[in-house]
Amino acid sequence: MPPAAPRGLDLLHQPFLNRGSAFTADERATYGLEGFLPARVFTLEEQVARSMANLRRQATDLDRYVYLQALHGRNATLFYRVVLEHLRETLPIIYTPTVGEACLRFGELFGRPHGMYLSREHRGHLRALLEQWPRRDIEVIVVTDGERILGLGDLGAQGMGIPIGKLALYTACAGIAPDRCLPVTLDVGTDNAALRDSPFYPGVLAPRIRGEAYDAFVDEFVAAVAEVFPRAVLQWEDFATDNAFHLLARHRETVRSFNDDIQGTAAVTLAGLLSAVRVTGGTLADQRVLFLGAGSAATGIGELIVGELMEQGLPEAEARRRCWFVDSRGLVTADRTDLAPHKRPFAHAHPPLADLAGAVEALAPTALIGVAAQPGTFTEPILRQMAARNDRPIIFPLSNPTSKAECTAEQAYQWTDGRALFASGSPYAAVEHAGRRFEPAQANNVYVFPGIGRGVVAVQARRVSDRMFLAAARTLAAAVGEGELDRGALYPALESIRDVSIQIGVAVAEVALEEGLAGVEPTGDLTTWVRDGMYDPAYPPVPAERRRE
């Protein structure tokens, strides 16, 4: 006999079943809700309007974040309808830049548990813990160990805000059902001594484990995921550079997985470059791209640019010469002996240069990309020099949150006399300059990772290949209209994100089929196949229960 459906207060405390004041009179009588709710019945649309009024009444963005998280814990359907219908307004709250502040204060804010916290103390029992999760049909897992949260560094277990935020966007933007999403934090400790001394820090109060102990812990986790959630896509998120590359290489053949900081950031940035080239004329091969920063995000972007150029017919050595990097010790050059393995493929023969200004002067780049979390480093002299060398300089300060951005949108347009082709990691308001209105583009990974997950899940691809990210970048760039380019927007409107995610999902599924990676063979139209089953926030039926006598 199936378990009895929840009733009364128990039902109101089930966020995936609760509909609050939208329960009808008949439902209230059926499920023992009479007396627990005010008399008036509200529609979902009216609840959305009320929620937005309350959201806008909050004093700060962090207060708005807390309000939305509480709404999710109370009524998940209403939360996702609010986010979907007001994505432009809610995206900066549930994700960058506000999620950064939320992670910094996660211990203070902790309330209703969300997701799984797997600590190093659970070694040897990870599969048993995952088996306690109430569903086996999980489609997407976002996991972090909290060591490199945005540009904020090691936040340990407080990094859980990132997987929670990413998965909310999987649901809103690509229709992955929220009860098929699982946020996970691998709590291996933190080297942030100030956090360990905090009275509210929620994680293991010890330095991080590293080396073989760390690898064994993550290996056990990946093996458990493969066994307990065999359909799931595993997205690595906000790992420190060395571990990010190491774990991606170690496990990408074991489970269908990808690293959003390396590969997702690369795809959205390449899409922005392809859009910019539509404005500047010429080809991607005509560009010389200079990066400030040479970590996982930066070199991930470089590798995808190289992949695209090679597919366009450029030899690999020539393709790599289109990408130059400046790290904390200056220009990355072939004669340096201090380079990590991920930097060496981009170490070109060149006299040493100490800083970004010297590199801009010597290399005359057409595009400047900031991924070093060093605020204010795209200075007025540097941007004016970019404008002097290029009719339409490409300026991408991608570091998050806003406090870490290399320059603001207003500075980029002002210091290039309104000629910059601009994209940033965090959102900026429209800028008025010299009688023109510019709409700054946000190179937000939300444009690509939900669609990639949608496509991989749709055909149960056995692994996530590099060509899938090239396909995602091209598809995203093609979705930008001429009118949007005229206004300075290098990405499509956020309001079209579901359609864009479907298009990217189709492109990813096509690559999986071409490469022989698809685990299922779609029938009929591929777009329909990818679109079918997308979650739409509407109240589901409450489990059947005999009307009370």
Closest CA to 119 of 235, 218, 258: 218
pLDDT at position 401 is 85
Q: Which of 255, 283, 300 is the last residue of a domain?
A: 255
Closest CA to 259 of 282, 285, 239, 276: 239
| Over residues 319-335, mean pLDDT | 97
Cis peptide bond N-terminal to 401, omega within 30: yes
In this structure, is residue 543 part of a structural domain? Answer: no
Q: Which of 419, 443, 467 is the last residue of a domain?
A: 443
In this structure, is residue 526 part of a structural domain? Answer: yes
The residues near 1 (Cβ < 8 Å, ≥ 6 apart) are: none
- pLDDT interval class at 259 (50, 70, 90): very high
Q: Are residues 156 and 285 in the same domain?
A: no
In this structure, is residue 511 part of a structural domain? Answer: yes
The structure tokens 């139209």 sit at: 525
The tokens of 277 are what? 């080239």
- Here the CATH number for the domain that contains residue 507 is 3.40.50.10380
Total domains, the chain = 4
In this structure, is residue 518 part of a structural domain? Answer: yes
Kindly name the residue from 65, 166, 404, 413 that is annotated as catalytic.
166
Q: Are residues 453 and 484 in the same domain?
A: yes
- pLDDT interval class at 544 (50, 70, 90): low
Tell me: pLDDT of 153 over 60.
yes
Domain membership of residue 149 as a residue range: 107-255
95 is catalytic: yes
In this structure, is residue 405 part of a structural domain? Answer: yes
Q: Are residues 242 and 120 in the same domain?
A: yes
- Here the CATH number for the domain that contains residue 66 is 1.20.1370.30
Q: Are residues 249 and 302 in the same domain?
A: no
Q: Are residues 386 and 292 in the same domain?
A: yes
166 is catalytic: yes
Q: Are residues 185 and 247 in the same domain?
A: yes
Tell me: pLDDT of 548 over 70.
no
In this structure, is residue 2 part of a structural domain? Answer: no
pLDDT in tens, 59-78: 999 999 999 999 999 999 99
Q: Are residues 323 and 240 in the same domain?
A: no
User: Rounded distance, CA 228 to CA 305, Å?
Assistant: 36
Q: Are residues 152 and 221 in the same domain?
A: yes
- Return the ∠ at Cα 179 (arms to 177 and 182), rounded to 5°: 105
pLDDT at position 549 is 36
Q: Are residues 141 and 213 in the same domain?
A: yes
Q: Are residues 306 and 431 in the same domain?
A: yes
pLDDT at position 539 is 87
Closest CA to 445 of 500, 407, 517: 500
Cis peptide bond N-terminal to 541, omega within 30: no
| Over residues 392-401, mean pLDDT | 95
Q: Give the rounded percent of residues in the chain with a pLDDT score beyond 90.
A: 91
In this structure, is residue 541 part of a structural domain? Answer: no
Q: Are residues 206 and 245 in the same domain?
A: yes
- Here the CATH number for the domain that contains residue 349 is 3.40.50.720
Kindly name the residue from 95, 201, 413, 447 that is annotated as catalytic.
95
pLDDT in tens, 300-313: 999 999 999 999 99
Alpha carbon of residue 378 to chain centroid:
24
pLDDT in tens, 138-150: 999 999 999 999 8
pLDDT at position 4 is 63
pLDDT in tens, 95-108: 988 999 999 999 99
51: amino acid identity, one letter: S
In this structure, is residue 431 part of a structural domain? Answer: yes
Q: Are residues 209 and 289 in the same domain?
A: no
Closest CA to 100 of 494, 369, 328, 425: 425
User: Rounded distance, CA 272 to CA 267, Å?
Assistant: 9
Closest CA to 343 of 318, 356, 326: 326
pLDDT at position 187 is 98
Q: Which of 255, 281, 316 is the last residue of a domain?
A: 255
